Amino acid sequence: MQLIRSPAPLFLVTGGSGQLGRELRRVLSRQGDVIAPSRSELDLASPVSIREVIRRVKPSVIVNAGAYTAVDRAESERDVCFAVNAVAPAVLADEARDINAALVHFSTDYVFDGTKLDPYVETDQPLPLNAYGQSKLEGERAIAASEAAWVVLRTSWIYSAYGKNFLTTVLRLARERAELCIVDDQIGSPTPATAIAAATASLINRARQRTEDIGEAIRADRGVYHYASSGWTSWCGFARAILDAFPDADRRALAVRAIETQEYATPARRPANSRLDSSRILETFGLSTLPWNDELAREAAAIRAPVGTRVHSRVSSSL
């Protein structure tokens, strides 16, 4: 089959300053031009703002990495949570359809209740336990009901060297406390933002090789896909692995004590099993995943690398 290289696309990345958005900006800039508006320029809680930016920029691909992710606060801030996670994806899909752009949207393992004993597949019935999961599920369904060319990537336990996530929180708490008490009866697959961004770029590049019309290529394979590291651990196991991966980090913590969920009360309920089966994305797009502990080792090595040896990219951060 002859490969087709389409003209360089224009990417519009929402949530560009977040942990996933930062990595998407870096990798997508190798394929084309990237515009990553700030929140003041594109407010996902405002449909008017979304429509105005998209109609002005006219991107080839919209990559929606923006989301309301404060899981516990979402229980008391449902309006803004649903505006960003449910209404905004519907608006993005409508606008993508109107300009024949492809839409890549990210969702979460929290659309499931976690009672299944095996990893979840895409056809399993969603049943969110909290407002955040409900809002993300509504966003998925709004996109699926649209006529846009779309792909939804569900992932889990995202972490990176940037922002507020489990990795950075554990390293911070290890500097402040002599002992960390971490939940051990919730399991999942820690997945670095770098891996998710690389998979997204590969998926889009594959579409570009098939036809000059990225939207047409994405439309042929549109659907929901799971993408998470292989293997699994608990939050406690992940915390211990983080401290092992950063032996030279400044810290007081000498021990990580396993506790049960009931000992750590939170406003929002979490699924006990967050494992995702990523077989479908391998079969459709040829995207494989690495074991979560191997990914953590790679991330730790990259984070510890001298600043001058890290790869940086030039992207447009404004309109």
pLDDT, one tens digit per residue, over 74-131 is 999 999 999 999 999 999 999 999 999 999 999 999 999 999 999 999 999 999 999 9
Give catalytic residue positions.
132
> Side chain identity at 241, as an amino acid letter?
A
Contact 82/123 with Cβ under 8 angstroms?
Answer: no
Helix (H, G, I), strand (E, B) or coil at 108: strand
Nearest alpha-carbon partner for 124 in 139, 138, 109: 109
Question: What CATH superfamily classification does 10-160+191-229+275-297 receive?
Answer: NAD(P)-binding Rossmann-like Domain (3.40.50.720)
| Crossing angle of the two packed helices 235-245 and 292-304, in degrees rounded to 10 | 40
Torsion from C-alpha of 302, 308, 310, 315, nearest 10 degrees = 150
Q: Which residues pair with 150 in a beta bridge?
A: 103
Instruction: Look at phi and psi of residue 106 and say left if phi exceeds 0, alpha if psi is from -120 to 50, else beta.
Output: beta
Q: Cα angle at 270 between 170 and 281, to 5 degrees? A: 85
Q: Where are the domains of the chain?
A: 10-160+191-229+275-297
> Is the pLDDT reported for residue 317 higher than 80?
no
> Is the pLDDT reported for residue 212 higher than 90?
no
Contact 217/184 with Cβ under 8 angstroms?
Answer: no
Q: What is the pLDDT of residue 306?
A: 53
Q: Which residue has the tokens 């998407």?
A: 24
CA–CA distance from 276 to each of 19, 114, 117, 153, 272 (Å)? Answer: 21, 10, 11, 11, 13
pLDDT in tens, 277-308: 999 999 999 999 999 999 999 999 988 765 44
Contact 72/268 with Cβ under 8 angstroms?
Answer: yes
Contact 187/232 with Cβ under 8 angstroms?
Answer: yes
How sure is the predictor about 255, in pLDDT bands with cuts at 50, 70 and 90? confident
Higher pLDDT, 236 or 4: 236
Q: What is the pLDDT of residue 209?
A: 77
Q: Which residue has the tokens 């958005």?
A: 21
Q: What is the pLDDT of residue 311?
A: 42
> Is the pLDDT reported for residue 72 higher than 50?
yes
How many Å apart are CA 191 and CA 299, to the nearest integer? 10
Nearest alpha-carbon partner for 28 in 229, 202, 158, 151: 202
How many Å apart are CA 243 and CA 245, to the nearest integer? 5
How many Å apart are CA 65 and CA 299, to the nearest integer? 20
